């Protein structure tokens, strides 16, 4: 399996009503990360306007949550003719711990299970981090020379890939409940850590 996530947190799909979480995540990205994600320097207003529409019916977004705060996102936008557009962003303190790769793996699994075969990712040629991440999925990502767009080929769905998505969604739901309960216990009066 191509996931060595060492950061602790929960990866799950975002719900349509979680726009505020996604917006806050985008707004926390530093200038370089925003430039990498949007292939341009974008203002807070532009980022907010984008986030307002990002969880529409044409999108499936996976998020990486730590204590209920969204620290990373992998966006899949469904387009006509079995194509899609993809993007990944991880906040600085959670990078280099496998979060980007884990999110990208979930995104590819979801894409193949939706019958998407051809995905496009905007990625500046100077974006070493994303290119290294992409290299981990060797054989499925190609760059046209000098272009800022990468093409990602998703494999066809199988009964196993469908089962894996279902299993991961179920596991994430259970993890979310446990994480919330731990959060409630920690905030309870008189809680003083491990005894």
Q: What sign does the dihedral 161-69-37-5 (CA atoms) show?
A: negative
Stretch that binds ligand COA, among 11-19, 95-103, 140-148, 178-186 (CB under 6 A): 95-103
Residue 129 within binding range of ligand COA, rule CB under 6 A? yes
Q: Angle formed by the axes of helices 99-113 and 159-187, to 10°?
A: 140
Residue 128 binds to ligand COA (criterion: CB under 6 A): yes
Contacting ligand COA within 35-64 (CB under 6 A): 36-37
Rule CB under 6 A: say whether 90 interacts with ligand COA. Answer: yes
CB of 122 to ligand COA, least distance (A): 6
Please say which residue, 96 or 182, places its beta carbon nearer to ligand COA. Answer: 96
Q: How far apart are CA 11 and CA 95, in angstroms?
A: 15
Binding residue (CB under 6 A) for ligand COA from 95, 114, 151, 164: 95
**Which of 40/178 has CB closer to ligand COA?**
40
In what order do the strands lie in the sheet containing 141-143? 10-13, 59-66, 69-79, 83-90, 118-122, 149-153, 141-143
Residue 169: partners with Cβ closer than 8 Å, 6 or more residues away: 12, 13
Q: Are 22 and 70 in contact (CB under 8 A)?
A: yes
- Please report, as ranges, the residues that interact with ligand COA according to CB under 6 A: 33, 36-37, 87-90, 95-101, 121, 123, 127-130, 132-133, 136
């Amino acid at each position: 399996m191509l996931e060595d996530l060492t950061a602790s947190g929960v990866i799950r799909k975002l719900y349509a009503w979680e726009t505020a979480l996604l917006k806050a995540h985008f707004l926390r990205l530093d200038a370089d990360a925003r430039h990498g994600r949007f292939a341009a320097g974008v203002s807070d207003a532009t980022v907010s306007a984008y986030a307002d529409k990002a969880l529409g019916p044409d999108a499936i977004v996976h998020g990486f949550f730590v204590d209920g705060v969204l620290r990373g996102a992998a966006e899949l936008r469904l387009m006509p003719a079995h194509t899609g557009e993809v993007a990944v962003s991880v906040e600085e303190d959670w990078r280099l711990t496998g979060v980007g790769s884990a999110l990208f793996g979930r995104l590819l699994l979801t894409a193949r299970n939706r019958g998407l075969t051809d995905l496009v990712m905007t990625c500046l040629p100077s974006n070493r981090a994303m290119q290294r991440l992409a290299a981990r999925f060797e054989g499925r990502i190609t760059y046209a020379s000098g272009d800022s767009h990468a093409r990602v080929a998703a494999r066809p769905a199988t009964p196993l890939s469908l089962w894996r998505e279902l299993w991961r969604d179920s596991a994430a739901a259970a993890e979310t409940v446990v994480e919330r309960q731990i959060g409630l216990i920690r905030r309870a009066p008189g809680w003083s850590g491990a005894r």
